[in-house]
Amino acid sequence: MAKKILIIDDDPNIVIYLEDFFSDNGYETCSASDGSEAMTVLKKEKPDLITLDLEMPEEWGPRFYRKLMKEEEFRKIPVIVITGLTGGKYAIHKAVASITKPFDRDKLLKIVKDTIG
């Protein structure tokens, strides 16, 4: 069974790109456009990994992450921050990686494979 990645980003072009990229590399995907929607998707889909944008309407990535950490069932899900913000690596200290947009797809794939196989 393929590992599942939850993509949280408000840019539909980034979401489509990541869905195609991860699918082409053998992963299942699900997505949400902000932190509020992400919590609903998270509970339904139970992903193995999350990619998280920091700056989104409604609910920013760091706020979603704080909610995620309060949920015993989900707090061990690894998170990769993918953001256009400089200094994004400091926003979520426990993220397995922080990548700045535009990102290197080979680097991202290596991080995903090293994290969930």
Look up the CATH number of the domain holding residue 43: 3.40.50.2300
Question: Per-residue pLDDT tens for 68-98?
Answer: 999 999 999 999 999 887 665 557 878 999 9
SS (H, E, C) the chain: CCCEEEEECCCHHHHHHHHHHHHHCCCEEEEECCHHHHHHHHHHHCCCEEEECCCCCCCCHHHHHHHHHHCCCCCCCCEEEEECCCCHHHCCCCCCEEEECCCCHHHHHHHHHHHHC
Count: domains in the chain:
1
* pTM, entire model: 0.93
Q: Which domain holds residue 90?
A: 4-116
pLDDT digits (tens, 9 = 90+) for 11-65: 999 999 999 999 999 999 999 998 889 999 999 999 999 999 988 888 778 889 9
